[in-house]
């Protein structure tokens, strides 16, 4: 190829790259020359070349979506199903967790209640299922109950029309961690009821708690009527995981003590 032809080809590539960038196809634009070289070398037909660069762009966008969603969700980092130690907690049915990981319960706007004593892996499972939900395309907000109550208090006077736009109201899945460690006052319990009532039938809720169902009235300001109203909505269409086992944290402490001995 003559120098003039080479310069013209380079200019054509630059123009194509610019057009791709203007269309928002940044990933393809950045790899265009490599892709063209590979297509020429491997004699890839035009339709396959187009299909491959579009696949690359879609994959890149999906990776960006997942990274951004994870960053904004509030999910504790580093907790996935891949690194959950099922062998230490044989009472947890792995097959049931894998079924939940398909996210069918979120599509059906159902509730997932994970209950058990401290340290048995409730938060890890909740976070891992939320990560999986993001991978499946669902919007997520993850809060400890204390954090969520602070948000609800701040929005107590917000009109309903504006309140619906709050993230904790309109995400596909709201995860509430560490329910039951502190008793709620009547005003706080009423705010939680408002949240649960609004999301009922509109979006899923995942709750981790160290309290059994019978203990909820005491946790909710001692108000049995309010507790019944909340539980009625949460448990109408729900999955309940009751984890009974040893504490991962105590296991880690024991292992560390053995290592120092």
Do residues 112 and 239 make contact, with C-beta atoms less than 8 angstroms apart?
yes
Q: How far apart are CA 229 and CA 176, in angstroms?
A: 18
Low-confidence ranges of the chain (pLDDT < 50): 1-2, 5-6
Q: How far apart are CA 105 and CA 87, in angstroms?
A: 25
How many separate helices (H) and strands (E) can be counted in the chain? 14, 5
pLDDT of residue 25: 79
Structure tokens at 167: 């993230």
H-helix or E-strand containing 2?
Answer: none
Q: How far apart are CA 244 and CA 238, in angstroms?
A: 19
Cα four-point dihedral sign 105, 108, 109, 111: negative
Structure tokens at 82: 């891949």
SS3 59: helix
For 249-259, how does the pLDDT look when each residue is reduced to its tens digit (9 = 90+)?
656 555 555 55
Helices (H), 158-212: 160-163, 167-170, 186-199
List of E strands, the chain: 111-115, 140-144, 173-179, 204-209, 238-242
Instruction: Give the domains, in start order, of the chain with CATH numbers.
Output: 3-73 (no CATH), 86-251 (3.40.50.300)
Q: How far apart are CA 72 and CA 67, in angstroms?
A: 9
Closest alpha carbon to 102 in 67, 138, 56, 145: 138
Do residues 198 and 227 make contact, with C-beta atoms less than 8 angstroms apart?
no
pLDDT of residue 1: 46
DSSP readout, 95-128? HHHHHHTTTHHHHTT-EEEEE-STTSSHHHHHHH
């Amino acid at each position: 190829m003559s120098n003039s032809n080479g310069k013209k080809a380079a200019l054509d590539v630059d123009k194509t790259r610019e057009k791709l960038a203007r269309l928002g196809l940044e990933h393809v634009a950045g790899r265009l020359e490599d892709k063209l070289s590979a297509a020429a070398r491997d004699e890839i037909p035009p339709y396959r070349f187009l299909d491959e660069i579009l696949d690359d762009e879609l994959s890149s966008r999906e990776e960006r979506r997942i990274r951004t969603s994870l960053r904004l969700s509030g999910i504790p980092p580093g907790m996935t199903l891949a690194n959950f130690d099922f062998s230490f907690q044989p009472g947890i049915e792995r097959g049931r967790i894998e079924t939940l990981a398909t996210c069918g319960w979120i599509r059906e706007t159902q509730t997932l209640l994970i209950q058990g004593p401290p340290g048995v892996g409730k938060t890890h499972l909740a976070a891992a299922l939320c990560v999986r939900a993001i991978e499946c395309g669902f919007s997520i907000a993850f809060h400890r109950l204390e954090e969520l109550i602070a948000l609800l208090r701040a929005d107590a006077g917000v009109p309903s029309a504006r309140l619906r736009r709050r993230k904790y109201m309109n995400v596909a899945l709201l995860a509430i961690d560490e329910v039951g460690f502190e008793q709620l006052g009547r005003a706080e319990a009423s705010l939680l009821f408002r949240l649960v009532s609004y999301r009922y039938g509109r979006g899923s809720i995942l709750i981790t708690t160290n309290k059994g169902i019978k203990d909820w009235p005491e946790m909710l300001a001692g108000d049995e009527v309010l507790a019944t109203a909340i539980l009625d909505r949460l448990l109408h269409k729900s999955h309940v995981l009751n984890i009974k086992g040893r504490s991962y944290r105590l296991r880690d402490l024991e292992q560390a003590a053995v290592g120092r001995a």
